[in-house]
Amino acid sequence: MHLAISNHGLRNSGGIERYALTLVRGLHARGIRPVFAAKAFDTALPEYGWVDPVRVGMALVPGKLRDFWFDHRLRALKRNGGWAPLIACNQTGAADIAICGSNHPAYLEAMGQRAGRIDRWKIALERAHLTNAKVVIAHSRLLARQVIQHYGIAPAKIELLYPPVDGLRFSPVDAAARNALRTGLDLPDDRAVFLLASTGHRRKGLDLLLDFFQGTRLPVLLAVAGRPIDAKGPNLRYLGYRSDIEDVFRAVDFSVIASRYEPFGLVGVESVLCGTPVLVADTVGCAEVLQGAAGLPFSLAHPMSLGAAVERAVASWQEGAHRLESPRDHLGYDPDVGVHLDALLRWAGTKGW
C-alpha cells in the first residue's frame, strides 16, 4: 500500500486545507509518510517534511482550467506511481477514497445561481470524483443527502464521517490568558464580541449580519477575520487575515455562522473546542453535532430569528455564563484525528489495497 493524499494545497487556508494538514499530522504520529500531491506547498510548515511532496505545476494553465488539469495529472501520477489508496480532498476521478466536503449543484442552488459552462465542467468533475471512488466520505448528513440527490450515488457507498480537529491547537485557555488575547486584539470588555471567519463574504452571509449588527442597540461587536470588508461602523471590527485563528476563537465571546451554503463548517467545531459557543444557521452542516449551549440556532428563512439568537447570547454573556467549561461534552462526535484515521485506514484495508 502506497498511501497518497491529494489536495489543492498543503498550507494553512480554508477548512479543507486544515483538514488535509490534520490528516498529515495524524499519519505522522503513527509513523506513516504519505505521498502528498498538490498545486502548491508551504515549505515552511513542519507537515511539509512529513510527506513525499509531488507538486503539479500550474504556471501556464489558465485559472479556470486548473482544477481540470490537476485531475488529469493526478490520474497519470497515480497510475505511474502505484498510489493506492488515493485519499482525494479535491475533486478528481483518480480518487479511491473521495472526501466529500462540498457539493457544487447544492451550492449553486443555495446561492441562487444558474449553472454556466464552467459550472457544468465542475459538476462533471465532481461526478467522476464520487462515481469512480470505492468509498465516499461525507462530512455531514447534509452532504450525504446532497450526494444522493444530485448524483444518485448509492447510499451503501457513502460513509458519514465528521471531520477531525486538532485538539491541541483548538483548546481553551484560562481567564488570564484569554484576557491577554482579548487585549492584544483590542476587543472591548463592555460588549459581547461575535466572530465571523470568512473568505467568501456573500456565501458566509456577511450582508445579513451587517444588516443586524449595524442597526442594533444591543451591546455587541461583530469582528470579521479573513478577507477585507467594504464596510465600517461602530459595531464592526476587521481583524485581518489570521494564522492564529485559534487565539481569536478563544478571545471572542461567540462565533457566528450565517452561511447560505456551508456543508459542514469546521470553524464551528474549532470554536467550540476553544470554549466559545456558536450562533449557527439551519443551513450549516455542523449544526448536526453542536449540542446544548454550544449551538444557538437561527433560520436564514426567518431574519428575525437571528436577532432573537443574538439577544439570547447577550443575556448569557451579561450573566457571565456563556463560556463552555467542558467543550467536548457539547459535541455529538469525537473530533480526535486518531478516531477519524482509524475509520479511513479501516476502509483502505477492507477495499483490497
The region, left, alpha or beta by phi > 0 then psi within -120 to 50, assigned to residue 275 is left
What's the chain's average pLDDT?
Answer: 94
327, 272 contact by CB (below 8 A): yes
What average pLDDT does range 23-51 have in this prediction? 96
What average pLDDT does range 274-290 have in this prediction? 96
Q: Do domains 4-164+336-350 and 175-330 have the same CATH topology?
A: yes
pTM listed for this prediction: 0.91
- Give the integer Cα–Cα distance in Å for 2 and 73: 18
Given this model, what pLDDT does residue 117 score?
94
- Would you identify the CATH topology of the domain 4-164+336-350? Rossmann fold (3.40.50)
- Give the integer Cα–Cα distance in Å for 99 and 89: 5
CATH architecture, domain defined by 175-330: 3-Layer(aba) Sandwich (3.40)
- Give the integer Cα–Cα distance in Å for 100 and 137: 6
**What torsion do the CA atoms of 193, 226, 264, 251 make, to the nearest 10 degrees?**
-30
- Give the integer Cα–Cα distance in Å for 268 and 279: 9
Give the angle subtended at the CA of 167 by the CAs of 221 and 191, to the nearest 5°: 15
How confident is the model over 322-353, as pLDDT tens digits? 999 999 999 999 999 999 999 998 887 755 55
Q: Break the chain into its structural domains and give their ranges.
A: 4-164+336-350, 175-330
What average pLDDT does range 96-113 have in this prediction? 95
How confident is the model over 184-193, as pLDDT tens digits? 999 999 999 9
- Give the integer Cα–Cα distance in Å for 342 and 349: 10
286, 265 contact by CB (below 8 A): yes
Find residue 240's DSSP bridge partners: 225
